[in-house]
Amino acid sequence: MKKVCYAHGVNDGPGLRERKKQRTRETITRVALELFDEGGYDATTLADIAEAAEISPRTIFAYFPSKEAILFSEFPAMRDALERELANRPAGKDVLEVVADFLVSAVARPENAEIEHRRVRIVESDETLRNQMQARLAGFEEVVAAAIAGELGAPKNDLRPLLAAASLMAGFGVMFKSVSSRKRPPAPEQLAAFIDPIVTFVRGGLEATGRIRDAEGDGERTRSTD
């Protein structure tokens, strides 16, 4: 009888326990966002979420310490994923292209579109949540600024990467506000149509400031030889 070896399968991907935990985490997030969207963030309690998810409140606390943690649960993983994408971007593809493609993929994929649309709509409905989101987006801004600085070979005192990253995030903020007013999440091509002008604007600013910086550098060199 031929011996069947299961060793390869055992090491492929997360185990049963981890998959079950991930499904529970996803269920909590999905149910919570539905309740936040339909009944209001402040009015929804953790007990409401536990009941709708058919789990105990204690189980929720095993995954999330608060409603805020549930609402913004995807941000740390998305930040890390963006950082990896930027670090491994192919030759000939600049930072702004990678960020644009990443955002379309993360937000507008069919399996993600509805839940991300709910998240944006919930955040945009409350000033406190908007401020909390801005604080979390600062982490994305730092990642993008560092990648742009590396792409430009910019020194530490160069403000261009910081300004470009801040402008990019501000543009995305305007876009999210516009998208939140829609009843349905945008399709990938619609989201890309929102993003393209933002990226074009930021890229134009980088190119313009780069030319100014070069001109100033030439002037300094000219003055130093007079």
CA 168/CA 144 separation, integer angstroms: 9
Q: Are 191 and 106 in contact (CB under 8 A)?
A: no
Q: Which tokens sit at 178? A: 């516009």
Per-residue pLDDT of the chain (226 residues; tens, 9 = 90+): 444 443 444 455 678 888 899 999 999 999 999 999 999 999 999 999 999 999 999 999 999 999 999 999 999 999 999 999 999 999 889 999 999 999 988 887 767 788 888 999 999 989 999 999 999 999 999 999 999 999 999 988 899 999 999 999 999 989 888 888 888 888 888 889 999 999 999 999 998 886 655 555 554 433 333 4
- Residue 63 C-beta-side C-alpha neighbours within 13 Å: 26
Spell out the long-range contacts of 181-187 with Cβ–Cβ below 8 A and sequence spacing 24 or more: 182/117, 184/117, 185/107, 185/108, 185/113, 185/114, 185/116, 185/117, 186/108, 186/113, 186/117, 187/108, 187/113
CA 53/CA 47 separation, integer angstroms: 10
Task: Please give the pLDDT value at position 138.
Answer: 92
Which CATH number, 1.10.10.60, 1.10.8.60, 3.40.50.720, 3.30.70.100, labels domain 14-71?
Answer: 1.10.10.60
Task: Please give the pLDDT value at position 40.
Answer: 95
3-class SS at 158? coil
Continuous segment of H or E residues that includes residue 22: helix 16-39
Task: Please give the pLDDT value at position 109.
Answer: 75
Task: Please give the pLDDT value at position 12.
Answer: 53
Q: Per-residue DSSP letters for 151-194?
A: HHT--TT--HHHHHHHHHHHHHHHHHHHHHTSSSPPPHHHHHHH
Where do the structural domains in the chain lie, given as residue ranges?
Answer: 14-71, 74-218
Task: Calculate the alpha carbon distances from 10 to 15, 21, 52 in Å.
Answer: 7, 17, 34
Q: Are 169 and 141 in contact (CB under 8 A)?
A: yes
CA 19/CA 35 separation, integer angstroms: 24
Residue 79 dihedral angles phi and psi, to the nearest 5°: -60, -45
Task: Please give the pLDDT value at position 87.
Answer: 95
Q: Tell me the CATH number for domain 74-218.
A: 1.10.357.10
Angle among Cα 82, 88, 92 to the nearest 5 degrees reads 110
Spell out the long-range contacts of 77-84 with Cβ–Cβ below 8 A and sequence spacing 24 or more: 78/106, 78/140, 79/139, 79/140, 79/143, 81/106, 82/140, 82/143, 82/144, 83/143
CA 191/CA 185 separation, integer angstroms: 9
What predicted TM-score, i.e. pTM, was given to this entire model? 0.81
